[in-house]
Amino acid sequence: MGEHTAPLFPQEVIDEYAALGIDLPALFSAGHLGERMGVTIVEAAADRVVGTMPVEGNTQPYGLLHGGASAVLAETLGSIGSMLHGGANKIAVGVDLNCTHHRGVRNGLVTGVATPVHRGRSTATYEIVITDDQDKRVCTARLTCLLRDVPEPEAG
């Protein structure tokens, strides 16, 4: 569905995860749901995450972009930003997602841009603005993630 290209990460972030043996582009992908919906991560850093998603295949019965599809894009982008903020020793778990849908979209590609509102030690909140091909705002979302310590590997 979507064209998958490797997202752009800051070199220091790539190095941090590579030292731990982690494939960063795979870790910060849109996951199985995002793949089915055609989500593509274009750029990823703690201060800005950009992704796209096609409208086609992600519509509701009236032929408009489904609000849940916008929520998937928003949560994906905000979660990636939160995880990058938390670093390799934290995992981000979404605890609150709010989406306001401003206008319908029938075709093309939507683009989401996530920027931080708050980046603390235990939580991170991102605002995600989703626009259409004409750069008109389709949805504004806010995601708060809890930053949890990565569990220690089990012995044995």
From 3, 16, 75, 152, active-site residue:
75
For the question of residue 75 being annotated catalytic, the response is yes
User: CB-based burial of residue 67 (10 Å sphere; 0-12 exposed, 13-18 middle, 19+ buried)?
Assistant: middle
Distances from the Cα of 104 to the Cα of 3, 47, 59, 108, 141, angstroms: 23, 28, 10, 12, 15
Contact 130, 137 (CB under 8 A): yes
- Biggest CA pair distance of the chain: 55
Q: Which residues are catalytic?
A: 75
